[in-house]
Structure 1
Amino acid sequence: MAEVQATEPAQVDVSKTSSEPNEGYNKKCIFCRIVNNEMGTELLHSDEEISCFRDIKPGAPHHYLVVPTKHVGNCKSLSKEHVPLVKRMVETGKEMLQKNNITDLDDVRFGFHWPPFCSVTHLHLHVLAPASQMGFMSRLFYRLNSYWFITADQLIELLNSKRETSTVLD
C-alpha cells in the first residue's frame, strides 16, 4: 500500500509538469503530442522554447525535426517577430548535427515545407544530413528553389522583409 501512495503523487506531478510549460498545446496536433511525451517518441532536445526528434520517414542518414515546444502554425502564419524563433530552431538543428559528428554544414539542408505542402501544420524545421546522401524522392521533397520547400535562410529573409504591421492575411 505504501508503494501505491508513493507512486500516485509522482503521477500527478508528472501531468502537472507536462501541461504547465506547454500552454500552446493543441491536442489534435501530432507534434504537440510528441513534445508532451504522449507518443513515446524520443526527444533529442526539449526546453521551454524548442524541441527536437527524429523524422519517422528519414530522407537522409540524419533527419531531425526541430519544432517550437508551444504550438505555432506553419510558415505562412509567421511574422517578423518570429525571426528569433526560426534562428533558434536552426541553431538547435546545428547542435543536433554536432552531437552526431556532422561537421560539414555545406552538406546539410535546413528548411520548411511551404503550405499547402506541409503534412503537419505545427511549424517544423527539417534538418537533413548529409544532403549528398539523400535519395531521389528526398531530393524531390526537399528540393532547393522549389515552390514547396523553403530554406531556413529564405524564410528568415522573407520574414525580415515583412512590414511590422503585416497581418496574417498573406
Structure 2
Amino acid sequence: MSAEGEEQSAAHDSKCIFCRIANYPDSDAELLHSDDSLVCFKDIRPGAPHHYLVVPKTHVGNCKTLSKDHVQLVTNMVEVGKSVLQKNNVTDLEDTRFGFHWPPFCSIGHLHLHVLAPASQLGFLSRMIYRINSYWFITADQLIERLQANTDAK
C-alpha cells in the first residue's frame, strides 16, 4: 500500500456512514458543499425546512473528543453551514440553530454539525431534540467557548 493509501485509510473509517458519504462520490447523498476538508448534505430526518449536516472528510470523533486545536474546524463547519443556507435562499441567519448532539446522545460517532433553519419552524419533537441548554445538544458557539476555555470538552 502506498503512503498516500495508508494515510487515507487512517483518516477514514470504512464502517462510518459519514466517512463513506464524505469521501466516496458514489454515495446516495447529494453533496450541497464539498471542499478539501468538509462536506454538507441534507439530513435524512429533517427537523426543519432546511436541515443540513456538515461533516469533516477525515474521521473525527464526537464533540467530547475535541480540544482547543479543533476550534478552527468547528468555526469552519459553521461557516459552511451558513454558506449553504444562503445558497438555499435562507436570508434570516438569526432564525437558525447550529449545534451538536452531546454524548451519549449521538446516533453516529463522527462529528457532525446540525444546521437548522428557520429555527422558529421546528416542530414539537425537533424543539426537544435540538433544544438549547439541554443535556443532549450543544450549540456551536457553546462548544467553541468550551474548547477555548479548556484543553478538552470533557
Common fold: TM-score over 0.5: yes
Aligned to 1:156: 144
Distance of aligned partners of 1:20 and 1:77 in 2 relative to their CA distance in 1, 3 Å threshold: closer
Indicate how the Cα distance of structure 1 residues 27 and 60 shifts in structure 2: closer, same or farther if over 3 A, else same: same
Q: Equivalent pairs: percent with the same residue?
A: 67
Q: CA deviation at 1:39?
A: 2.7
- Residues 91-100 or 44-53, more deviating: 44-53
In structure 1, C-alpha distance between the alignment counterparts of 2:85 and 2:122, rounded to whole Å: 16
Q: Matched residues in 1 for 2:8 and 2:93: separation? A: 32
Offset, 1:29 = 0.5
Render the CA deviation track for 1:34-64: whole Å, top value 9, x for unaligned: 1123432111111111110000000000000
Where 1:107 maps in the other structure, the secondary structure is coil
Q: Does 1:99 align with 2:87?
A: yes
Per-residue displacement from partner, 1:140-169 (whole Å, max 9, x unpaired)? 000011010000000000000013xx5x8x
Amino acid at match of 1:127: V
- What is residue 105 of structure 2 aligned with on the other side? 117
User: Does 2:56 match 1:68?
Assistant: yes
Unaligned runs of 5+ in 1: 1-17
The letter for the 2-side match of 1:107 is D
CA distance in 1, matches of 2:87, 2:6: 29
Q: Distance in 1 between matches of 2:140 and 2:8?
A: 26
Alignment partners' CA distance in 1, 2:79 and 2:28: 25
Contact 1:46 1:69 in 2 (8 A): no
In 1, are the aligned partners of 2:54 and 2:113 still within 8 Å (CA)?
A: yes
* Corresponding position of 2:12: 25
In the comparison of the two structures, how many residue pairs are matched? 150
Secondary structure at the counterpart of residue 48 of structure 1? coil
Structure 1 residues 140 and 159 mapped into 2: Cα distance closer, same or farther (>3 Å)?
same
Equivalent position to 1:84, from 65, 72, 93: 72
| Matched letter for residue 84 of structure 2 | M
Deviation, structure 1 residue 21: 6.4
The residue that corresponds to 1:15 in the other structure is none
Do 1:22 and 1:70's aligned partners in 2 also have CA atoms closer than 8 Å?
no
Q: Which has the larger radius of gyration?
A: 1
Structure 2 residue ranges without an equivalent (≥5): none
Superposition RMSD in Å = 2.0
Distance 2:76 2:9 in 1: 18
Indicate the residue corresponding to 2:43 in structure 1: 55
After TM superposition, the score normalised by the length of structure 1 is 0.82
The structure-2 alpha-carbon separation of the partners of 1:22 and 1:128, relative to structure 1 and needing over 3 Å to count, comes to farther
Most deviating of 138-147 and 21-30: 21-30
Letter aligned with residue 25 of structure 1: H
